[in-house]
Structure formats: C-alpha cells, structure tokens
Amino acid sequence: MNAQPSRPASTYLSLVGAGLLGAGLFGAGCASTKDTDTSDTDSDTDSDTDTSDTDTSDDTTAPTALSSFPRDGELDVSLNRTVNVVFSEALDPASLTDATFTVMADGAPVEGTVSFAVDTATFTPTALLALSTEFDAEVTTGVTDLAGNPLASAYSFAFTTGTTADAVAPTVTATSPGNYATDVAITRTINAYLSEPPDARTISGATFEVSVGGVPVEGTIALDGATVTFTPSGALASSTLYDAAMGVGIRDLAGNALAEPYAWSFTTSDSTDVPGSVDLQSAADFAVLAGSTVTSTGATVVTGNLGISPGSAMEGFPPGLVVGDVHAGDSAAARAELDLTSAYNDAAGRTTAPISVSGNLGGQTLPPGLYTTASGLEISSGDLTLDGGGNPNAVWIFQMGTTLSTTAGRAVLLTNGADAANVYWQVGTSATFDTTTAMVGNVLADQSISFGTGASLEGRALARIGGVTLDSSLITLP
C-alpha cells in the first residue's frame, strides 16, 4: 500500500468562483446575493470543477496522490462512507471513471459513481458497503491532469468496514480569525475547522462565504483534510468588520449535513503597510510544540505548555522541567498543530509592502514590517535589533523559503517598545540556534527546530512536522 504523506502547508489548492453566496448557505428562504448554480453537487455528478479557463499549455508535471479518506489500514469505517483520494492538482474529470478509480471487495468490483471537486476524487457506492469487510481501492495511471499528464504512479489503499452507518452531523469546531477577533491582518486567509473531513463537492462559495456589509468578498476556497480556507483575491480593507458563514449545504463523507449554520465576524487592522499580528489560536498556549518528538539534554526549562502531535515521544524530562502542562499525542496538541498550520500559512501568505532581505541579518536594526526571502536567513556577524519606534503593537514577520540559523552567542534585541510576542519567523524548512543564542519571537518552522547548548528563546518554538531538540535551553512564553 502507499504511504499517506502529509500535505505541505504550501500546497493548498483552490476552487473557482468562491465568494458567491447561493440560496443553500442557510437553507431555503435565504436571499442569494449572486446567482450561483450549485445543483451539480449531487453524488452522481461527473465533476464540480470548472476548468474551461485553465491554461495548461506549459504544464508537464505529473499529478500525484497525496492521501486518502478512509486512510490506508483504517478500521471500523462506516457503511455509508464515500471513498476519496486527494491529489496535488486538478484532474481531467473525463479521465476519472469506474475503470481508473476502483473499489473492490473480495476481488469483486463495488458499483458506484466517480466525481471530482477541488483536489479530491470521490467514489460514491450505489449502496451501503458490506459490513465487516476489507476493501481495496486503487487509482490507476489512466488518470490525467488538465494538461493530459498521467498520474505519476498508481495509488492503492485498503480499509475495513465496521457494522454501522455514520449518522453524526459534522460541526465547526473553531475558526481563524476567531469570532470577534480584532487587529486582523488585511492579507491573511480565513479558516474554518470542522469536526471531520467534509465532502469536497459540497465546499463552494454557496456554502462558505466571507462578506462585508452584506457583499461577498471575491476569493478562492481550499480544502485540506477538515480545514476549509478562504483566500481573498486581494487585500481586505483596513479597520473593517467582516462576516463569515458556513451553511448546512456542507456534508461529511457519509452525506450528513452540517449540524447547523455557523457564522462569525472579525475586524481588520487599521494599518495598510505594517503587518497585523498572526493569530496562533490555541498554539499560543504552547512554548514548545512539535509534530514528531521533543528531545532535551541537560537542565532545560520550558515555561509554558509543551505539546506533541501526531507523535507523542518525549525524552529528557526530567532532568528537563516543564512549568506548564504536557500534551503528548492528545487532542489539545492535535488542535494546536492544526492552529499552527493555519498560522504558518497566514504568515507565509502575507504580501502587503514586502521588504526583500537576504543572507545575514546580523548587525542590522529593523523597523516593523514584512521581511521576505526565497532562501534562508542567518544572524551571524552581529546581533539583530528590532526597533518598535515606540509602538508596543508593532509587528515583524520574517518569511524565508528555507532555513533560519544563528552562530554562537548571537542575540535578537528589542528596543523602543518592541515585543517578542509580535515577532514571527516563518521558516520554510528548519531552524537551528547555535550555543548561547538569545532568540526572541514565535518560530513557526515547517520541519524542525534545534537549540544548541544554553540557547534561549523568549517566544515559542513551534514545529509543524518534525521535532524540537533542546539542550539546557530556556524557553519562555513572551
């Protein structure tokens, strides 16, 4: 069977026509602000994705399968579930047939229909799946993307049903920005977290809308597991109240509708040049958060919560000390990792008034702003000073495509009201802080974070996928 790779934060894929409110958002009787045809979200539809305007003339990259629902090896799958495969890009709907996407039980094909929406191919059985049965699913290389490139390799997985159908309605468990959030960056995405993955065919501008003064905001919608993301097509207006809503037209993979409509609001920052803060949500409670492991050597002290998810391995405590709660592989750590991914994508997606930097930041004094490079950054030839200019709400966001590193004894200094809580390092790969480094800010690393002996951080060490390595380190929430 194929391994189930986690989707990188940078590979969110988008729908066409987001920002169009259909009558199905809150059910019958709600006025529609735009005429959106959502009739093709039925399970018998060949495709929900409009590809008529897609330019594929220069595309030679083969699509790949990223993951499946159910997962490979998953047990006790409900009898009324659809079978889904998530891809790296949009596919040619005509290439998805009952010959290129098959589901088998005891060598016999299961009858059903195949459809495609967003980045997900869905096999919908015509009847309930047999109970307590192992099923084998496969997508063949006969599947192609919109440019005609065949799937890089066939993708197969297996799952076993339980004895009951799923009748539990999905719910919205959290949003980012949160309800009534203020000082929201005008360049950020809007995210909703569901209690379970939804049917991609039911995610559209008709079921997820962001609006201002009753007028829908134009943008695109993406689906990543149970996370739905709206990306505005331009910067939001500053100092403005926005409303967001999800409707009961959203369904889970068993066809259960969202339990009830969900609405929330937020207000954007009053600045169009200086970036707003990044909403860490529940990840803000963690001084250290890792995807795989947390390893410590020596007398490390972590002041704040420590979390690990989906891993749970934790070594070196004691002698290391956590002045806070430890969440190893539990639901709190899982939620924090989801919120970290949202924050990482928010920071990585900022585009307003970027300032290009490269290489070594040591010896410089930088005012608040958005600093960006496609490569890595280091602090090596001197200390870096962040000057708040007397504004305690000043924000720094550093975007880098690869690594962040320091040499021994280097420091980041805060002056004129600068606050460590308002410094964000969005690290494309991994961060490494050499011995006795005095670092500040929220380190959001896609992979791992390592501290040399005696290195300290006033802030948060938050690793999405890999581990956090400590060595007589002092990590303190700002």
Same domain, 230 and 109: no
Is the pTM above the cut of 0.75?
Answer: no
Can you tell me which residue has the tokens 């990188």? 8
- pLDDT given for residue 56 in this prediction: 55
Q: Are strands 423-427 and 438-445 parallel, antiparallel or unpaired?
A: parallel
Which DSSP symbol is given to 443? E
Same domain, 368 and 232: no
Same domain, 189 and 123: no
Same domain, 315 and 427: yes
CB environment 295-329: b (16+ within 10 A), e (fewer): bbbeebbbebbbbbbebeebebbeebebebebbbe
Q: Which domain holds residue 137?
A: 34-161
pLDDT digits (tens, 9 = 90+) for 358-403: 999 999 999 889 999 999 999 998 999 998 877 788 899 999 999 9
pLDDT digits (tens, 9 = 90+) for 69-127: 999 999 999 999 999 999 988 999 999 999 999 999 999 999 999 999 878 999 999 99
Number of domains forming the structure of the chain: 3
Domain end point (choices 131, 161, 191): 161
Output the CA–CA distances (angstroms, integers) from residue 156 to 54, 159, 161, 253, 281, in the order listed: 29, 11, 17, 19, 36
Same domain, 87 and 134: yes
154 HSE (CA, 13 A, CB side): 12
Same domain, 287 and 224: no
pLDDT digits (tens, 9 = 90+) for 9-67: 332 333 333 333 333 343 333 322 333 333 333 333 333 344 444 555 678 899 999 98
Q: Report the DSSP beta bridge partners of residue 102.
A: 138
pLDDT digits (tens, 9 = 90+) for 163-218: 999 999 999 988 888 899 887 878 778 989 899 999 999 999 999 999 999 999 99
**Residue 451 lies inside a defined structural domain of this protein:** yes
**Residue 471 lies inside a defined structural domain of this protein:** yes
- pLDDT given for residue 69 in this prediction: 92
Tokens coding 151: 């799937």
Q: How far is CA 416 from the centre of its chain?
A: 34
Same domain, 331 and 444: yes
d(CA 38, CA 285) in angstroms, rounded, equals 40
pLDDT over 70 percentage in the chain: 87
End-to-end CA distance of the chain: 45
Which CATH number characterizes residue 141's domain?
Answer: 2.60.40.1220
**Residue 273 lies inside a defined structural domain of this protein:** no
**Residue 147 lies inside a defined structural domain of this protein:** yes
- pLDDT given for residue 22 in this prediction: 33
**Residue 19 lies inside a defined structural domain of this protein:** no
pLDDT digits (tens, 9 = 90+) for 232-266: 988 889 899 999 999 999 999 999 999 999 999 99
d(CA 92, CA 397) in angstroms, rounded, equals 38
**Residue 238 lies inside a defined structural domain of this protein:** yes
Which DSSP symbol is given to 180? T
- pLDDT given for residue 272 in this prediction: 59
Given CA atoms 138, 142, 148, 154 in this order, what sign does their dihedral have?
A: positive
**Cβ-based neighbours of 359, under 8 Å, separated by 6 or more:** 375, 377, 378
**Residue 13 lies inside a defined structural domain of this protein:** no
- Closest Cα partner for 289 from 320, 318, 330? 330
Longest dimension (CA), the chain: 71
Same domain, 233 and 322: no
Same domain, 183 and 319: no
Given CA atoms 320, 324, 326, 327 in this order, what sign does their dihedral have?
A: negative
Determine whether 429 is exposed, middle or buried from the number of CB atoms within 10 Å of its CB (0-12, 13-18, 19+).
middle
Same domain, 339 and 406: yes
The band of 276, judged by pLDDT with boundaries at 50, 70 and 90, is confident
Instruction: Say if residues 395 and 424 touch (Cβ distance below 8 Å).
Output: yes
- Closest Cα partner for 200 from 157, 171, 169, 229? 229
The answer to whether residue 332 scores a pLDDT higher than 60 is yes
Domain end point (choices 268, 290, 311): 268
Same domain, 203 and 64: no
Collapse the DSSP code of 202 into the 3-class scheme (helix H, G, I; strand E, B; otherwise coil) and give the result. Answer: helix
- pLDDT given for residue 14 in this prediction: 34
**Residue 71 lies inside a defined structural domain of this protein:** yes
Same domain, 295 and 326: yes
The phi and psi torsions of 352 (rounded to 5 degrees) equal -75, 125
Domain end point (choices 213, 235, 268): 268
